[in-house]
Chains A and B, each alone.
Chain A
Amino acid sequence: AQRVTQPEKLLSVFKGAPVELKCNYSYSGSPELFWYVQYSRQRLQLLLRHISRESIKGFTADLNKGETSFHLKKPFAQEEDSAMYYCALRIMNRDDKIIFGKGTRLHILP
């Protein structure tokens, strides 16, 4: 079954410390993965996608097909990174849709 798993509901990190938000997926096809972010009182927005291999706001994520993971990382956390982060997987079979993990709330401590 297709599934996105984010094992941490809440992650608290001190400002300046490294951040890693975990994401694992289950999908039989070729995966296309995304990270979306939702800041307080704002709508969901795309943070990055693995096919573009870019770094946004200092965040990077590498697709590891062997471990079926797409962890989100940032070397030095900033207070403005506090938000809800969702890992998402594009399902492309007869449908073409995107499903989300349960999300991880990142709280940056001063």
Chain B
Amino acid sequence: GAVVSQHPSWVICKSGTSVKIECRSLDFQATTMFWYRQFPKQSLMLMATSNEGSKATYEQGVEKDKFLINHASLTLSTLTVTSAHPEDSSFYICSARRAGELFFGEGSRLTVL
């Protein structure tokens, strides 16, 4: 099946710093990728839809200046958490769609101290 990879898998940072998470589709091109956030033992919350070559579409309540998304190529989308705070600590998961099916990355755990 299609492979989506995220990097880093875990990052710990100090409060106030910015962190970038990469999402790559390894064996297919994805014009659209999705970023989800998952709290412990809770569901995935869709944060934004990342569109190659255009601006991301953010869900209601998600701060676009806080969570910067860039989809510069057909195989790479990045999520940058700017000025991270402890409440941003979470598990961030990206996915890409291929033939109507979503393929998920392994997730990136962000811990903000």
Contacts and interface: CB of A to CB of B under 8 A. Distances in A.
Interface of A: 34, 36, 43-46, 49, 86, 88, 95-103, 105
Interface of B: 32, 34, 36, 41-46, 49, 57, 93, 95, 100-102, 104-107
Contact of B42 (A88, A95, A103): A103
A99 B44 CA distance: 8
B105 A103 contact: no
A100 B44 contact: yes
Nearest to A6: B43
Contacts of A105: 41
B46 to A, nearest CB: 6
A101 B101 contact: no
Given A36-B102, A49-B101, 14 more contacts: A43-B93, A43-B106, A43-B107, A44-B44, A45-B104, A96-B49, A97-B46, A98-B34, A98-B102, A100-B36, A100-B44, A100-B45, A102-B42, A103-B42
A95 B102 CA distance: 15
Contact of B46 (A46, A86, A99, A103): A99
